[in-house]
């Protein structure tokens, strides 16, 4: 048994298969993967890693299983899945996931291969656990998969509290103790027990407030888009000889140094290192954006970027078009017991619909470029993309005024 | 200058008129008024007082005024109003306010008399401040009244954070630093500056989550109703010779001892001291309650209680009918700047409507009685009040089962 | 099983005998006993009670017993003792203990009578526990008595963290999780396991820093001395008819109202209510005080007070002489395992001696009086008590200057 | 003006010269220097960086200067020095400082060159500040140098609180608000004002408790020694072509990748990445170590290592001898005002001597090697170094027993 001090959950005790998995290269690598990618460029204290998050998820899973009275092999499988649930992440966590997915067809929670191979596979088999069964849990399959990856999973509980702790933003402070305690199974489904509509809502609300403030903060989005572009350049560079699968297994150190070393990532690497970021030329609400742009695939987006650059008379590398997907809200289907019945949260709580609407109203298409050309790029983007001009341009571009938008957070 | 250590805001510096007001009996009395009345019977750490809250409100007011660049006499008036805003509270804060209001016609924020008389009046006049002008601010009047008592007031900011800190419930953790910093005046109105829709929403959400969990927790409501009934008995007792104005100026110590000494408060005083509380016989949603009951005035409610008692065959003192007023949501009209325009939050945020709906869905009519008669009382209440029977009765009464409802929080 | 939310330990689960004891009048009364007596006059957030502290001690005792692998009846006895360890406290906790001890011969941890009688006795016997065995544990006797009241007891662990949390003073933040985890029995003695010299030191250090800052803050001492004097007047008043045993069973509400109602407590009651406190006329280090004064018994102290008053020409009720006992340091004999041997902390850690010396250097004799006569009283006290004049007088008295001493904390 | 959210100090406002310095490459590089080097291998949450620490130091410097009433150019110089005080750090902060110092003759606070060159030099001169004057402050020279680097500097105040926050160890929680507020100048010296002996002691105590628990934790020392050895190999590798000055200007990413790429750092790089660390073969108290070994210079230490390896029959690369320098205690000369006199803390507080003695008793010489050879290496080291055998060997080596030493912290 090992006891590890954590700044969020205090002491975490780790034992059995988890204790052995801890020392594998695949888990130790998570120490070098930033939990929130480039968010530390907005919130400088947010340097936490997937490693401490994985420990936290393991800790909450143990607590939940104990409450549920699950022991033995079934518990071991969940313990392993909790600790391993993020080993599939590439450098900078989610930041490059869309890029690597396009080329490998694999998301970070597709870990059947990773869990079968190397020391992880050995440890699992030594503990008489089937790597594929553990990988299924990581993918959210099966009865206990819901606990690892589902609407009420311990992953979300840990990251909301941890991200709040490390950014200093107070909105993620949910009551994990109560959440874990009130989980129960009903008809094979993981639900929150009677009297916990507010508990379920608090999870939803925490994410709804953290979203615009942290996860989708404009500066986080800009830096992430720049990082993605740089990584794309790296993959395409004939000198670098890095493919998507290789990139996916790098840690943050390796990626950063690879970007610096590669001539083709040009300005992006220096800009990221010095936090000399692109600025928003366009920041448009959903209503002001044609449906065809919202639904555009990667290739069309690259084409739009080239057209905007051409219209603005700037190098195509100086224009980034960033179109988020339509908002989703996993928690809306969280199940709560109300008067002895299982009900999806969205049927029980008017908050769900409202938060979904809020997410839509917070959705923004962004066009980013160096400060000195944002005016030209903004107007070109409005024309190329067919945006409503007043709503889309950021105020400097519109009015020639200085923006007040960036005054908060670094 | 005096520096006071506060467990919420750390160091509070107090100077000038506030420094002198601090030593007056009216302000020192607030040390003996529990901020949350009987909520400590649910959350045992919630023993904080109106005194520390008043210091906190003063502290945030100072910070806001400094941000707004307000100095001199105008600032002094607000400083005084912030420190004095709660001197009108009776024992146990809001718990007895409806009772005393019916007999004195005065709410706790009607403090013109209190600020003119005694040491408070002397200190204000010595600092060349008009007590009536300060009392106007406490009542929320005038440009700066909005800061003391309005949709975006520092009162709310302090109590949400303080109540969260002392109960241990994590939902009230708003970002007071940001709120205070982003306040500004536009067209004479206090608004939150550009980029703060989420900041405004977080205030709203914090109150929406604290409400059912803390302020309207069923046990808090039961104990408050019992305290109110006991105090009513005290006012009506020929032996006690206490009138509403006298009761209003008591502190918690005095009221508790007066209730114990008075023969006519009978069982209530002992029950409150020993936390031997009534139980819910009925807990009905708004849809299951006839409009006439929801709108009933005090006298009708007392009549209903007598009828229920008679139908159930119990002493009328063993039945309490607790009908909350319809929910309100002050924060819905908070103003935020969006693209250079002042907008009420409810026009900007879909959350407002959702939270209002949530408040309605959380509204409950309660009928309380000793555990041993709750069955009879519950059925009698359903019949007398014309409630929908299934929705209204608590599960024990309905099913003869043990309730799982009270398992959380003391 | 009941779950209670605590602002320090988050969720506390309470079950079995403790669950039943919780509802007894003797335990519920602790809600109305301030944990730190008059310290809230210095730190306004410090309104916590013996009730929440008792829950915390119970919680830590459960954790320690679980670590130690103790179950069944032996564990139940400790659970009961932990929850009941403070039921013997009078109003304002330790503040009046010397006063009542002189008249009843009983300290707060002498609870054999209390645990045998009333509902507490019934609950204990119903759970097949011997009240006297539980009372022995409260007194610190027996193997597990060390855990309830000893050098490494959970009482101290809870109060240091809780007092820090509620005052806002950061010095009490020890690592309770680690302390509880590292306790073990060796040769029948409770010790900290290998590698915990610093853990033991941190407990010692926390108390050494909290002492002058909180527990013995000059304003806390003055207000406590005034309260003690007022209570003494109450006991001596022919009108009041209150004896020491009665006073001992009061709660804070009752004592405060009794002091207000009693004509003989005169000025003290009003002064305490309004925080219009006496000031220090003398504040003398141990070296400047004759041994005979340090060792003086209560009667001699009262005689000194009368002599000082007479010399100063003031009413004897306006002079209080406050002579603390010589410092003690329970933790110095805490046992730690070092290289397989049990060693007392004082043999292992040079800090112990240093902190003992620090306590001596912080010891102060105080003479208090109303501000307007402090000059006369200070000089009279120097003469009557035979103090070294320069060291003893506070600076105002010595220099006619305004003190800077009280600027910090309320 | 920019506002940055910090997880320790909440909002940090940054303006003027500091605002402009923030965007320089030299300051942005600090985002990639771990504040505590390899300590994150013990405390996995401790991923904070020199960048957020520098912001914190700047924040406290601003607060202190405001209290002291310092404005204008004098304040600007201190603001710049506070933000820049750590730009001289190499990768992993202090971990490699002895190594680079031996080859460059320069410690991290020798920044005259760095502040004169590049964008930092330009910004300083644009704000009409002399880079050398700022560098002097960083080196602790001059009246205000004491505030940046001295016994009572804001550097220490920030790191104690920040390291406690991020490791989760509660011992560093000093009262920064009070410390900053009570600083004053007397006779040109920075001192703590009257009534602050405990405040000064708390700083000392915090460091004394953090030291063995965090900064000198055995696993932190082992991993640091391994990193240092790897870096030394890198500098000596003919293939790598890295000199000490180049290494000094790397960030953590670059160093880690360079170590991985260099064939001559062999096993160390993989071991650090996978946390497959050497174990203690010897852990000896000062009394058991001959003076000649304690005082040995680098070359002698390398010779000892070779002798131990030869005696044990293992590769010299598998033996590390780690001899810390004799303890120092900067804070002992902190000055406090007592009765109008400036006194060094060590004359006023018996704690100083005790903590110094504690530091000596905690001093340990370590010999580290792979687990499988620790037995042989331990016995060889005892013989080669002339150690007292019983005190020096760790228990496994002595007894063939499994160690209990590593059970706590990762």
- Considering only CA atoms, give the Rg of chain B: 22
Residue D258 contacts residue D241 (beta carbons within 8 Å):
no
Classify the phi-psi angles of B6: left when phi > 0, otherwise alpha if psi is within -120 to 50, otherwise beta.
beta
Residue B254 domain-assigned?
no
What does the pLDDT read at residue A407? 37
Task: Looking at the structure, tell me whether residues C147 and C161 fall in a common domain.
Answer: yes
Exposure b/e, A291-300, CB count within 10 A at least 16 = b: eebeebeeee
B408:A212 CB<8 A: no
Q: Determine contact: C43 vs chain B, CB below 8 A.
A: yes
Residue B268 domain-assigned?
no
Contacts of B181 in chain D (CB under 8 A): 3, 11
pLDDT band with cut points at 50, 70 and 90 for residue D395: low
Q: Determine contact: B82 vs chain A, CB below 8 A.
A: no
Of the two residues D395 and D75, the one the predictor is more confident about is D75
Task: Looking at the structure, tell me whether residues C190 and C290 fall in a common domain.
Answer: no
Average pLDDT over residues D141-168: 93
Contacts of B205 in chain A (CB under 8 A): 205, 209
Number of helical (H) and strand (E) elements in chain D, helices listed first: 23, 9
Contacts (Cβ under 8 Å, ≥6 apart) of D72: none
Of the two residues A195 and C126, the one the predictor is more confident about is C126
Residue C286 contacts residue C294 (beta carbons within 8 Å):
yes
Q: In the beta sheet, which residues pair with residue C165?
A: none
User: And the tokens for C37?
Assistant: 């007596």
* Neighbours, chain A (3 or more CB pairs < 8 A): B, C, D
Of the two residues A329 and B237, the one the predictor is more confident about is B237
Question: In Å, how far is A51's CA from the nearest CA of chain D?
Answer: 7
Contacts of D169 in chain A (CB under 8 A): 5
Instruction: Give the span between the Cα atoms of A56 and D352, in whole angstroms.
Output: 39
Task: Tell me which residue in C10, C178, C181 faces A177 most closely, judged by beta carbons.
Answer: C10
pLDDT in tens, D202-227: 888 888 888 888 999 999 999 999 99
Q: Determine contact: C1 vs chain B, CB below 8 A.
A: yes
Residue with tokens 């690597």: A100
pLDDT in tens, D352-390: 888 888 888 889 999 999 999 999 999 999 999 999 877
Coil/strand/helix, residue D116: helix
First-to-last alpha carbon distance for chain A, in angstroms, is 41
Nearest to C321 by CA among C366, C284, C288, C291: C366
CA angle at C10 for the pair C7 and C12, rounded to the nearest 5° = 110
Q: Determine contact: D10 vs chain B, CB below 8 A.
A: yes
Contacts of C408 in chain D (CB under 8 A): 178, 195
pLDDT band with cut points at 50, 70 and 90 for residue D149: very high
Task: Looking at the structure, tell me whether residues D201 and D319 fall in a common domain.
Answer: no
Residue D58 domain-assigned?
yes
What does the pLDDT read at residue B308? 98
Task: Looking at the structure, tell me whether residues A46 and A18 fall in a common domain.
Answer: yes
Q: Determine contact: D201 vs chain C, CB below 8 A.
A: yes
Residue B303 domain-assigned?
yes
Phi, psi of C280 (to 5 degrees): -75, 125
Question: In Å, how far is B116's CA from the nearest CA of chain C?
Answer: 19
Instruction: Give the span between the Cα atoms of D249 and B324, in whole angstroms.
Output: 67
Q: Determine contact: B195 vs chain D, CB below 8 A.
A: no
pLDDT band with cut points at 50, 70 and 90 for residue B401: very low
Whether the per-residue pLDDT at B338 is higher than 90: the answer is no
Contacts of A41 in chain D (CB under 8 A): 31
Task: Tell me which residue in B3, B7, B31 faces C408 most closely, judged by beta carbons.
Answer: B3
Interface test with B, best of A160, A173, A198, A211 (most B CBs within 10 A): A198
**Residues in B 131-170 with any Cβ partner in C closer than 8 A:** 165-169
pLDDT band with cut points at 50, 70 and 90 for residue B410: very low
Task: Looking at the structure, tell me whether residues A158 and A282 fall in a common domain.
Answer: no
Which chain C residue has its CA at the smallest distance from A9's CA? C177
Task: Looking at the structure, tell me whether residues B177 and B292 fall in a common domain.
Answer: no
Whether the per-residue pLDDT at C407 is higher than 70: the answer is no
- C-alpha dist (Å) from residue B292 to B283, B286, D2: 17, 12, 56
What does the pLDDT read at residue C389? 77
Task: Looking at the structure, tell me whether residues B312 and B209 fall in a common domain.
Answer: no
B355:A354 CB<8 A: yes
- C-alpha dist (Å) from residue C96 to A353, C36, C102, C369: 59, 12, 10, 20
CATH number at residue D48: 1.10.3210.10
Which chain B residue has its CA at the smallest distance from D10's CA? B177
Of C69-83, C89-103, C353-367, give the lowest mean pLDDT range.
C353-367
Q: In the beta sheet, which residues pair with residue D10?
A: D6
Task: Looking at the structure, tell me whether residues B122 and B41 fall in a common domain.
Answer: yes
What does the pLDDT read at residue B398? 66
Task: Tell me which residue in A10, A177, A181 faces C177 most closely, judged by beta carbons.
Answer: A10
Residue B152 contacts residue B190 (beta carbons within 8 Å):
yes
> Domain boundary residue among D212, D232, D261?
D212
What does the pLDDT read at residue D398? 67
> Domain boundary residue among B161, B195, B213?
B213
B45:C7 CB<8 A: yes
B405:A194 CB<8 A: yes
Segments of chain A scoring below 70 in pLDDT: 395-396, 398-410
Q: Determine contact: C361 vs chain D, CB below 8 A.
A: yes
Contacts of D178 in chain B (CB under 8 A): 11
Task: Tell me which residue in B170, B173, B198 faces A212 most closely, judged by beta carbons.
Answer: B198
Instruction: Give the span between the Cα atoms of B290 and B294, in whole angstroms.
Output: 7
Task: Looking at the structure, tell me whether residues C200 and C285 fall in a common domain.
Answer: no
Please state, rounded to an integer, the average pLDDT across all residues of chain D: 91
C168:B5 CB<8 A: yes
Residue C405 contacts residue C337 (beta carbons within 8 Å):
no
> Domain boundary residue among D190, D212, D234?
D212
| Element containing residue A337 per DSSP (H, E) | strand A335-338
* Neighbours, chain C (3 or more CB pairs < 8 A): A, B, D
Question: In Å, how far is B391's CA from the nearest CA of chain A?
Answer: 9
Average pLDDT over residues C144-165: 93
Question: In Å, how far is A260's CA from the nearest CA of chain D?
Answer: 10
Residue C282 contacts residue C387 (beta carbons within 8 Å):
yes
Nearest to C85 by CA among C146, C38, C39: C146
Which chain C residue has its CA at the smallest distance from D340's CA? C395
pLDDT band with cut points at 50, 70 and 90 for residue D401: very low
Contacts of D5 in chain A (CB under 8 A): 43, 45, 167-169, 409-410
Average pLDDT over residues D246-254: 97
Contacts (Cβ under 8 Å, ≥6 apart) of B254: B91, C257, C260
Kindly report the number of other CB atoms within 10 A of residue A144's CB atom: 24
Contacts of B3 in chain D (CB under 8 A): 181
Please state, rounded to an integer, the average pLDDT across all residues of chain B: 91
pLDDT in tens, A302-327: 999 999 999 999 999 999 999 999 88
C181:A11 CB<8 A: yes
Residue B226 domain-assigned?
no
Residue C109 contacts residue C138 (beta carbons within 8 Å):
yes
Residue A75 C-alpha from the chain's centroid: 27
Residue B123 domain-assigned?
yes
D358:C201 CB<8 A: yes
Task: Looking at the structure, tell me whether residues C12 and C51 fall in a common domain.
Answer: yes
Exposure b/e, C305-320, CB count within 10 A at least 16 = b: bebbbebbebeebbbb
Q: Determine contact: C6 vs chain B, CB below 8 A.
A: yes
Residue D204 domain-assigned?
yes
Percent of chain D surpassing pLDDT 90: 72
Task: Looking at the structure, tell me whether residues C191 and C236 fall in a common domain.
Answer: no
Interface test with A, best of C3, C6, C8 (most A CBs within 10 A): C3
State which residues form the domain around D371.
278-326+363-410
pLDDT in tens, B88-100: 999 999 999 999 9
Please state, rounded to an integer, the average pLDDT across all residues of chain C: 91
Residue C222 contacts residue C367 (beta carbons within 8 Å):
no
Task: Looking at the structure, tell me whether residues A100 and A64 fall in a common domain.
Answer: yes
Please spell the DSSP secondary structure of A200-253, one letter per residue: HHHHHHHHHHHIIIIIT-HHHHHHHHHHHHHHHHHHH-TTT---HHHHHH--HH
Q: Determine contact: C263 vs chain D, CB below 8 A.
A: no
pLDDT in tens, D36-55: 999 999 999 999 999 999 99
pLDDT in tens, D302-354: 999 999 999 999 999 999 999 999 888 777 788 998 878 898 988 888 788 88
The interface predicted TM-score (ipTM) is 0.93
Average pLDDT over residues C330-336: 81
Residue C333 domain-assigned?
yes
Please tell me the total count of domains within chain D: 2
C181:A10 CB<8 A: no
User: And the tokens for C372?
Assistant: 């307007």
Q: Determine contact: D245 vs chain C, CB below 8 A.
A: no
Contacts of B48 in chain C (CB under 8 A): 45, 47
Coil/strand/helix, residue C144: coil
Phi, psi of A89 (to 5 degrees): -70, 140
């Amino acid at each position: 048994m090992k006891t590890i001090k954590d700044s969020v959950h205090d002491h975490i005790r780790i034992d059995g298969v988890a204790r052995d998995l801890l020392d594998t290269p695949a888990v130790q690598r998570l120490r070098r993967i930033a939990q929130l990618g480039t968010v530390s460029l907005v919130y400088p204290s947010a340097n936490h890693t997937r490693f401490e998050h994985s420990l936290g998820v393991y800790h909450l899973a143990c607590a939940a299983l104990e409450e549920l009275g699950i022991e033995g092999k079934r518990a071991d499988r969940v313990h392993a899945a909790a600790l391993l649930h993020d080993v599939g992440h590439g450098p900078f966590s989610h930041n490059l996931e869309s890029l690597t997915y396009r080329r490998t067809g694999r998301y970070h929670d597709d870990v059947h291969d990773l869990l079968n191979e190397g020391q992880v596979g050995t440890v699992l088999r030594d503990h008489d656990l089937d790597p594929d069964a553990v990988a299924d849990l990581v993918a959210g399959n099966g009865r206990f998969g819901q606990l690892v990856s589902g609407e009420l999973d311990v992953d979300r509980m840990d990251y909301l509290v941890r991200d709040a702790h490390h950014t200093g933003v107070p909105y993620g402070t949910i009551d994990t103790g109560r959440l874990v305690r009130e989980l129960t199974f009903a008809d094979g489904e993981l639900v929150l027990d009677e009297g916990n509509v507010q508990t379920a809502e608090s999870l939803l609300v925490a994410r709804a407030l953290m979203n615009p403030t942290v996860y989708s903060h404009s500066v986080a989005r800009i830096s992430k888009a720049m990082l993605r572009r740089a990584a794309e350049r790296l993959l395409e560079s004939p000198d670098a000889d890095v493919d998507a699968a290789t990139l996916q297994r790098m840690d943050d150190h390796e990626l950063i140094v690879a970007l610096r070393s590669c001539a083709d990532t040009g300005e992006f690497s220096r800009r990221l290192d010095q936090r000399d970021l692109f600025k928003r030329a366009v920041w448009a609400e959903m209503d002001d954006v044609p449906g065809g742009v919202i639904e555009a695939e990667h290739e069309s987006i690259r084409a739009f970027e080239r057209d905007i650059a051409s219209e603005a008379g700037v190098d195509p590398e100086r224009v980034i078009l960033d179109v988020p997907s339509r908002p989703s809200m996993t928690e809306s289907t969280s199940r709560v017991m109300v008067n002895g019945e299982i009900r999806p949260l969205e049927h029980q709580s008017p908050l769900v619909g409202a938060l979904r609407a809020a997410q839509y109203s917070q959705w923004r298409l962004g066009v980013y470029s160096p400060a000195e050309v944002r005016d030209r790029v903004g107007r070109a983007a409005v024309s190329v993309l067919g945006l409503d001009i007043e709503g889309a341009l950021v105020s400097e571009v519109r009015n020639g005024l200085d923006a007040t938008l960036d005054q908060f957070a670094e």
